[in-house]
Amino acid sequence: MVTLLITSLFILAFLAIAIYFWQKPDSPSPADALGAPPGRGLFIDGVPDDPTAALIKVETDRQAKTTKQAAFLERAKAGDKSVLLEAHIEAPPDTYREVLGLLTAGSDSDPILLSLVSYVTRHELPVTPQLGERFIDSYKRSPDRSSSAKTLHVAALSDDAAVYQSAVETALRLWRERRLTDISAEELRSILEGEFWILSAPTRRSGAGFLLKRALASARRELEAAHNG
Protein backbone atom coordinates (compact mmCIF):
# COMPACT_ATOMS: atom_id res chain seq x y z
CA MET A 1 0.00 0.00 0.00
CA VAL A 2 2.76 2.39 0.97
CA THR A 3 4.69 1.41 -2.14
CA LEU A 4 1.71 2.15 -4.34
CA LEU A 5 1.28 5.60 -2.73
CA ILE A 6 4.93 6.53 -3.24
CA THR A 7 4.79 5.40 -6.86
CA SER A 8 1.66 7.47 -7.51
CA LEU A 9 3.31 10.61 -6.04
CA PHE A 10 6.39 10.10 -8.17
CA ILE A 11 4.28 9.76 -11.33
CA LEU A 12 2.31 12.93 -10.48
CA ALA A 13 5.53 14.88 -9.89
CA PHE A 14 6.97 13.70 -13.22
CA LEU A 15 3.79 14.71 -15.07
CA ALA A 16 3.80 18.16 -13.41
CA ILE A 17 7.40 18.78 -14.51
CA ALA A 18 6.65 17.60 -18.04
CA ILE A 19 3.59 19.87 -18.32
CA TYR A 20 5.68 22.88 -17.05
CA PHE A 21 8.37 22.49 -19.67
CA TRP A 22 5.79 21.84 -22.40
CA GLN A 23 3.95 25.11 -21.66
CA LYS A 24 7.10 27.30 -21.18
CA PRO A 25 7.86 29.53 -24.29
CA ASP A 26 11.12 29.01 -26.11
CA SER A 27 13.97 31.32 -24.98
CA PRO A 28 14.91 33.89 -27.63
CA SER A 29 18.08 33.20 -29.55
CA PRO A 30 21.03 35.64 -29.06
CA ALA A 31 20.32 37.10 -32.52
CA ASP A 32 16.65 37.69 -31.61
CA ALA A 33 17.64 39.24 -28.27
CA LEU A 34 19.71 41.89 -30.10
CA GLY A 35 16.72 42.89 -32.25
CA ALA A 36 16.59 43.41 -35.99
CA PRO A 37 19.57 45.13 -37.64
CA PRO A 38 19.02 48.91 -38.02
CA GLY A 39 17.59 49.95 -41.33
CA ARG A 40 16.05 46.59 -42.18
CA GLY A 41 12.54 47.18 -40.86
CA LEU A 42 9.84 48.65 -43.02
CA PHE A 43 9.34 51.74 -40.84
CA ILE A 44 12.79 52.02 -39.25
CA ASP A 45 15.03 55.04 -39.79
CA GLY A 46 18.64 54.74 -40.83
CA VAL A 47 18.24 53.05 -44.21
CA PRO A 48 21.71 52.64 -45.73
CA ASP A 49 22.68 55.27 -48.32
CA ASP A 50 21.75 54.47 -51.87
CA PRO A 51 24.69 55.31 -54.20
CA THR A 52 22.31 55.97 -57.08
CA ALA A 53 20.26 58.41 -54.99
CA ALA A 54 23.45 60.21 -53.95
CA LEU A 55 24.53 60.59 -57.57
CA ILE A 56 21.09 61.86 -58.55
CA LYS A 57 21.25 64.47 -55.77
CA VAL A 58 24.71 65.64 -56.88
CA GLU A 59 23.50 66.02 -60.47
CA THR A 60 20.32 67.79 -59.37
CA ASP A 61 22.34 70.25 -57.26
CA ARG A 62 24.72 70.85 -60.18
CA GLN A 63 21.85 71.58 -62.55
CA ALA A 64 20.22 73.95 -60.04
CA LYS A 65 23.53 75.77 -59.61
CA THR A 66 23.98 76.06 -63.37
CA THR A 67 20.44 77.37 -63.79
CA LYS A 68 20.94 79.99 -61.09
CA GLN A 69 24.24 81.09 -62.61
CA ALA A 70 22.61 81.46 -66.02
CA ALA A 71 19.86 83.57 -64.45
CA PHE A 72 22.47 85.82 -62.80
CA LEU A 73 24.21 86.37 -66.13
CA GLU A 74 20.98 87.16 -67.94
CA ARG A 75 20.08 89.77 -65.34
CA ALA A 76 23.57 91.29 -65.63
CA LYS A 77 23.20 91.53 -69.42
CA ALA A 78 19.94 93.40 -68.83
CA GLY A 79 21.78 95.90 -66.60
CA ASP A 80 20.29 94.77 -63.26
CA LYS A 81 22.87 95.91 -60.70
CA SER A 82 21.06 94.24 -57.80
CA VAL A 83 22.19 90.86 -59.10
CA LEU A 84 25.70 91.73 -57.90
CA LEU A 85 24.68 91.49 -54.26
CA GLU A 86 22.95 88.13 -54.79
CA ALA A 87 25.85 86.71 -56.81
CA HIS A 88 28.34 87.81 -54.15
CA ILE A 89 26.36 86.01 -51.42
CA GLU A 90 25.08 82.94 -53.27
CA ALA A 91 27.58 82.21 -56.04
CA PRO A 92 31.29 81.39 -56.28
CA PRO A 93 33.72 84.32 -56.73
CA ASP A 94 34.21 83.47 -60.42
CA THR A 95 30.50 83.93 -61.07
CA TYR A 96 30.49 87.27 -59.24
CA ARG A 97 33.42 88.48 -61.34
CA GLU A 98 31.68 87.36 -64.52
CA VAL A 99 28.49 89.17 -63.52
CA LEU A 100 30.43 92.37 -62.71
CA GLY A 101 32.32 92.02 -65.99
CA LEU A 102 29.07 91.98 -67.96
CA LEU A 103 27.75 95.01 -66.08
CA THR A 104 31.05 96.84 -66.61
CA ALA A 105 31.07 96.07 -70.32
CA GLY A 106 27.45 97.21 -70.56
CA SER A 107 28.15 100.57 -68.90
CA ASP A 108 28.43 102.49 -72.17
CA SER A 109 28.34 105.98 -70.68
CA ASP A 110 30.08 107.73 -67.81
CA PRO A 111 26.85 108.24 -65.78
CA ILE A 112 25.97 104.52 -66.05
CA LEU A 113 29.52 103.55 -65.08
CA LEU A 114 29.45 105.95 -62.12
CA SER A 115 26.13 104.44 -61.01
CA LEU A 116 27.66 100.95 -61.14
CA VAL A 117 30.73 102.01 -59.18
CA SER A 118 28.57 103.74 -56.59
CA TYR A 119 26.46 100.60 -56.16
CA VAL A 120 29.55 98.41 -55.73
CA THR A 121 31.25 100.69 -53.20
CA ARG A 122 28.04 101.42 -51.29
CA HIS A 123 27.47 97.71 -50.71
CA GLU A 124 31.19 97.08 -50.09
CA LEU A 125 31.40 94.56 -52.92
CA PRO A 126 34.66 93.45 -54.52
CA VAL A 127 36.04 95.69 -57.26
CA THR A 128 37.63 93.98 -60.26
CA PRO A 129 40.68 95.36 -62.10
CA GLN A 130 38.47 95.68 -65.18
CA LEU A 131 36.09 98.02 -63.35
CA GLY A 132 39.02 99.98 -61.92
CA GLU A 133 40.55 100.49 -65.36
CA ARG A 134 37.23 101.58 -66.87
CA PHE A 135 36.75 104.10 -64.08
CA ILE A 136 40.24 105.53 -64.67
CA ASP A 137 39.35 106.06 -68.33
CA SER A 138 36.18 107.85 -67.31
CA TYR A 139 38.14 110.00 -64.84
CA LYS A 140 40.38 111.31 -67.63
CA ARG A 141 37.36 112.92 -69.30
CA SER A 142 36.18 114.92 -66.29
CA PRO A 143 38.91 115.27 -63.66
CA ASP A 144 38.37 117.29 -60.49
CA ARG A 145 39.05 117.00 -56.78
CA SER A 146 36.11 114.70 -56.07
CA SER A 147 36.64 112.37 -59.03
CA SER A 148 40.37 112.16 -58.24
CA ALA A 149 39.72 110.90 -54.73
CA LYS A 150 37.00 108.49 -55.89
CA THR A 151 39.07 107.09 -58.76
CA LEU A 152 42.10 106.46 -56.59
CA HIS A 153 39.91 104.80 -53.98
CA VAL A 154 38.21 102.50 -56.50
CA ALA A 155 41.55 101.61 -58.09
CA ALA A 156 42.92 100.68 -54.66
CA LEU A 157 39.84 98.55 -53.93
CA SER A 158 40.65 96.45 -56.99
CA ASP A 159 43.67 95.20 -55.02
CA ASP A 160 45.73 95.29 -58.19
CA ALA A 161 49.04 97.14 -57.93
CA ALA A 162 49.24 97.83 -61.68
CA VAL A 163 45.72 99.32 -61.72
CA TYR A 164 46.50 101.55 -58.74
CA GLN A 165 49.78 102.66 -60.33
CA SER A 166 47.83 103.59 -63.47
CA ALA A 167 45.47 105.69 -61.34
CA VAL A 168 48.40 107.38 -59.58
CA GLU A 169 50.16 108.22 -62.85
CA THR A 170 46.92 109.47 -64.40
CA ALA A 171 46.17 111.79 -61.47
CA LEU A 172 49.75 113.06 -61.47
CA ARG A 173 49.69 113.74 -65.21
CA LEU A 174 46.38 115.61 -64.96
CA TRP A 175 47.82 117.68 -62.12
CA ARG A 176 50.90 118.51 -64.21
CA GLU A 177 48.62 119.57 -67.08
CA ARG A 178 46.82 121.90 -64.62
CA ARG A 179 43.55 120.09 -65.16
CA LEU A 180 43.21 119.58 -61.40
CA THR A 181 42.99 123.20 -60.36
CA ASP A 182 40.90 122.52 -57.25
CA ILE A 183 43.38 120.22 -55.52
CA SER A 184 46.75 121.21 -54.04
CA ALA A 185 50.00 119.31 -54.46
CA GLU A 186 50.02 118.44 -50.76
CA GLU A 187 46.44 117.18 -50.80
CA LEU A 188 47.08 115.04 -53.87
CA ARG A 189 50.19 113.53 -52.27
CA SER A 190 48.18 112.69 -49.15
CA ILE A 191 45.47 110.94 -51.20
CA LEU A 192 47.99 108.97 -53.28
CA GLU A 193 49.80 107.64 -50.22
CA GLY A 194 46.68 107.11 -48.10
CA GLU A 195 44.84 104.97 -50.63
CA PHE A 196 47.94 102.82 -51.13
CA TRP A 197 47.31 101.17 -47.74
CA ILE A 198 43.95 99.83 -48.91
CA LEU A 199 45.87 97.34 -51.06
CA SER A 200 46.37 94.00 -49.32
CA ALA A 201 49.78 93.17 -47.83
CA PRO A 202 50.52 90.45 -50.44
CA THR A 203 49.76 92.93 -53.23
CA ARG A 204 52.01 95.59 -51.68
CA ARG A 205 54.83 93.04 -51.37
CA SER A 206 54.49 91.72 -54.93
CA GLY A 207 56.71 92.61 -57.86
CA ALA A 208 54.06 94.97 -59.20
CA GLY A 209 53.82 96.40 -55.70
CA PHE A 210 57.53 97.20 -55.76
CA LEU A 211 57.11 99.15 -59.01
CA LEU A 212 54.13 100.94 -57.49
CA LYS A 213 56.20 102.00 -54.47
CA ARG A 214 58.84 103.46 -56.77
CA ALA A 215 56.17 105.41 -58.67
CA LEU A 216 54.73 106.71 -55.38
CA ALA A 217 58.16 107.74 -54.13
CA SER A 218 58.76 109.71 -57.34
CA ALA A 219 55.32 111.33 -57.09
CA ARG A 220 55.94 112.24 -53.46
CA ARG A 221 59.21 114.03 -54.31
CA GLU A 222 57.60 115.95 -57.16
CA LEU A 223 54.55 117.00 -55.16
CA GLU A 224 56.57 117.95 -52.08
CA ALA A 225 58.86 120.09 -54.22
CA ALA A 226 55.83 121.84 -55.74
CA HIS A 227 54.32 122.37 -52.28
CA ASN A 228 57.54 123.81 -50.80
CA GLY A 229 58.39 125.86 -53.86
Query: CA-CA distance, 44 to 31, in Å (whole number)?
Result: 18
pLDDT in tens, 177-224: 999 999 999 999 999 999 999 999 999 999 999 999 999 999 999 999
Please, which pLDDT band fits residue 67 given cuts at 50, 70 and 90? confident
Is 60's pLDDT higher than 80? no
**pLDDT tens column, 136-187:** 999 999 999 999 999 999 999 999 999 999 999 999 999 999 999 999 999 9
Interval 127-137: pLDDT, tens = 999 999 999 99
Nearest to 99 by CA among 122, 121, 71: 71
Look at 157 and 22; give whichever has higher pLDDT. Answer: 157
Domain residue spans of the chain: 67-126, 129-229
Whether pTM > 0.75 for this model: the answer is no
